[in-house]
């Protein structure tokens, strides 16, 4: 099972991706997590990426596609994997097509989490508050200004992936406005169907 999670920043992709990874026993490949790990480790890629991430912009297509291609060649991805935060541009989607084709693999389903924008900002404020209350570290790009930029980048560069995957017949839309349990149930319904298909 090869899944892609699409949706604006703050839509709850990370939460659902972690749950699906655990339920379906496939690794969650989050390019954001991988880039943050590179930043923390101070690698050359990390050093380059930090400024871009903090500005709410996108890291280059080639860098993220290389990271993903290397990662899916690891043995834990043999049965499938879930991409969270990749692809984010049409160029990345085309690179992913090629990466999968070269490995004789194909996408199972693209899940689009649909939410309204006002809810996104409220969720962001909530997430910052909860993280701080729990004594955790707030992500350096989790603030209203950077978030607004990330949302704009999503609309301009990532939203075109919706018709791209719709045309391929793999896109499924999930109502992301419900409770975590309701969203989970809807996704499980979809994945149950596509697992049988």
Q: Which residues are catalytic?
A: 13, 88, 127, 139, 150
Q: How far apart (Å, rounded) are the C-alpha atoms in residues 49 and 45?
A: 6
Residue count of the chain, please give it.
197
End-to-end CA separation in angstroms for the chain: 12
Stretch that binds ligand AMP, among 50-58, 70-78, 94-102, 120-128 (CB under 6 A): 50-58
- Is 172 a binding residue for ligand AMP by CB under 6 A? The answer is no
Output the smallest distance, CB 64 to ligand AMP, in A.
Answer: 4
- Is 32 a binding residue for ligand AMP by CB under 6 A? The answer is yes
- Residues 6 or more apart in contact with residue 107 via CB below 8 angstroms: 2, 3, 4, 100, 168, 170
CA dihedral (2, 93, 40, 16) in degrees, to 10, reads: -40
Contact string (CB under 6 A) for ligand AMP, positions 59-98, x = contact: x----x--------------------xx-x---x------
Which of 52, 190 has the CB closer to ligand AMP? 52
| Diameter of the chain measured on Cα atoms | 47
Task: Name the residues that contact ligand AMP, by CB under 6 A.
Answer: 9, 31-32, 35, 52-53, 56-59, 64, 85-86, 88, 92, 141, 150
């Amino acid at each position: 099972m090869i899944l892609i999670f699409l949706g604006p920043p703050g839509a709850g992709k990370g939460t659902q991706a972690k749950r699906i990874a655990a339920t379906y026993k496939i690794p969650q490949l989050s390019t954001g997590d991988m880039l943050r790990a590179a930043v923390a480790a101070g690698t050359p890629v990390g050093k380059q990426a930090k400024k871009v991430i903090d500005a709410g912009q996108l890291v280059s297509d080639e860098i993220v596609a290389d990271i993903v291609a290397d990662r899916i060649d690891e043995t834990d991805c043999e049965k499938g994997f879930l991409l969270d935060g990749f692809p984010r541009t049409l160029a990345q989607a085309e690179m992913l097509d090629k990466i999968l084709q070269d490995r004789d693999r194909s996408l199972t389903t693209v899940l689009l989490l649909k939410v309204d924008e006002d809810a996104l900002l409220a969720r962001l404020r909530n997430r910052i508050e909860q993280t701080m209350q729990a004594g955790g570290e707030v992500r350096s790009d989790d603030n209203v200004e950077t978030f607004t930029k990330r949302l704009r980048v999503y609309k301009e560069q990532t939203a075109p992936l919706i018709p791209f995957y719709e045309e391929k017949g793999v896109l499924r839309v999930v109502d992301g406005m419900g409770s975590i349990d309701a969203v989970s149930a809807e996704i499980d319904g979809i994945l149950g169907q596509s697992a049988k298909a």
